Each structure stands twice: as structure tokens, then as C-alpha cells.
Amino acid sequence: MKDKQKHILIIDPDTQMRNEYLSLFSADDCEIDVCSGITKAIEKIQNIRFDCIIMDVELPDLEGYKAVPILKTIDPKVEVIITAAQNSLELEAKIRKENIFYYYIKTFKREELKLAVENVFKKLGKDRKKQKIDNIYKILIVDDDPDYTSAIKTILSQKGYKVDIADNKDTALEKINKTKPDLILLDIMMERLNDGFTICYELKHNPTLKHIPILAISAITEKTGLQFSPETNSEYFEADDYVEKPIHPADLLHRINKLLNIEHQHI
């Protein structure tokens, strides 16, 4: 089998639906396998490394949401998208208890499912087109300190990043929705003490934006005396990484490379 960049497994008992999914994703440089039930799917994932599984909730041998823990036991890194022909509050509650990436209702537009799969590969760092290989990543700095943002923009621009700046919450959210940056450098305290928390919460609870890595860089401990840590405050602050100001340029670039899944970049 040809080793393509992205590998999807479709589990659906409906032949017409499987064919529709094949048509939907075949043009996206994806290797696609299909099967009708969980038994055959288990055989496949024991022998093939899949990035994403699109699985219907109504399978002939087991409900899809009950199969998620089984699949995750075999491959903890695989991302699962559950699909359903019809939704109900009871069904959705059962599905969302499982460790899934996305829940898709088949009556919705196919673009929504395609976007969810694209977000899987963005999370995995497998959506790197030619401009990504050339290191043209878009980074948005969200901070109200002009001296700081100017210095950081200079450092990142010299490394080949395309850098934009937002100095308040509203401008930041507008630019994020419009330009879809590859990474966000986020200050926590701006016009209001909770601006950074609000931005982070809104992004991480938005299905189309939650894949964007957030590196929080803040002087919150120095300014307030509070020993803030995302590890102990992760319930309401879901940044992907956090460091206190001031940060050394080498450390900053290392953290950015890690979040963008860049294996090596000269610092």
C-alpha cells in the first residue's frame, strides 16, 4: 500500500455513505481504508497506523461510542470522529463522555466534516503544504505592551515567520477569526485582568479554532504575586504552553518550534 501523508479509516455500515466519504477525502492526499463494523476495524488498526477514524454510531456489532475506548486502547494517539444520522440529547451525552475529537451529524453539510478532519491533521502537524515547509507560519502576538511586541516581532520575522499584532481582546478575536494564525502568543493581563483567559477559553471551545496552539507568555506572577500555573489552573485556562516573562529568545523559538511540530530550526 502506498504510504501517503494522511491515513483515514472509515467505519460505516452504509455502503453509499462510505463511497461518499471516499469521494470527499480522496482528493486530499489521504490514504483511506473502509469497513462496515468494529470487528474488521480492530483487525485493521492492529496492522495499520491511522491518524483519524470516522465512525458511525450505529454499527452492526457494537455502538460506535462504546467502541471508542477499544480503539484508543489499541492506538491512544488516533483521533476519532463519531457520526450519527440523527441526534438526541441522550445520544449526544453518551458520545461526548468518550474521548472523541468531533461529533458530526450526517444531515449537516459535508464541509463541516471535512473541516473537522482538516483540524485533526492540523493538530497532528500533517497539514504542512509548501508554504509551511518554507517556514511561512503565521503567528499572532496578543499583547498590549508595544515595546515587547516590537521586540518579539523582530525576532520572529528574522526567523521567517509572518507576524501580526493585536493589542486588545476584541482586535485579537477579529484577527484570529479572519486570518486563522498557525500559533498565538498570548498575554494574560491586558485592558482587563481576564482578557487572556477569555480569549483562550473562546478559542479552545470553538470547533473551528481550537486546534490553534496557544503559547501564553505573561508576567502575571510578577504583577500580582499569584503563583499561576496552567497545570493547576487548566480547568479555565487551556493554553498549550505557558512561560513567564521575560523569556529568552532561544527558549521562545524552541517552544514555538515544538508547538508547530517543527523538528529543527536554527536559533
| Domain layout of the chain by residue ranges | 6-124, 130-259
The pLDDT assigned to 28 comes to 67
Angle between helix axes 195-204 and 169-179 (nearest 10 degrees) is 20
Give the single-character DSSP code of 226: -
For residue 81, count CB atoms less than 10 angstroms from its CB and return exposed for 0-12, middle for 13-18, buried for 19 or more.
Answer: buried
Name the residue with cell 472523541: 100
Is 130-259 the same fold as 6-124?
Answer: yes
Q: What CATH number is given for 6-124 in this structure?
A: 3.40.50.2300
pTM greater than the 0.85 cutoff: no
d(CA 84, CA 53): 14
Q: Per-residue DSSP letters for 43-106?
A: HHHTTS--SEEEEES--SSS-HHHHHHHHHHH-TT-EEEEEESS--HHHHHHHHTS--SEEEET
Q: What CATH number is given for 130-259 in this structure?
A: 3.40.50.2300
Reference 199, options 245, 212, 92; nearest CA is 212
Q: Tens digit of pLDDT per residue, the chain (267 long)? A: 344 468 999 999 999 999 999 888 876 678 899 999 999 999 999 888 899 999 999 999 999 999 999 999 998 889 999 999 999 999 999 999 998 999 999 999 999 999 999 999 888 775 444 444 445 899 999 999 999 999 999 989 888 899 999 999 999 999 999 999 999 999 988 878 788 889 998 998 898 898 999 999 887 655 544 545 555 444 557 888 888 888 888 889 989 988 987 754 444
The pLDDT assigned to 5 comes to 66
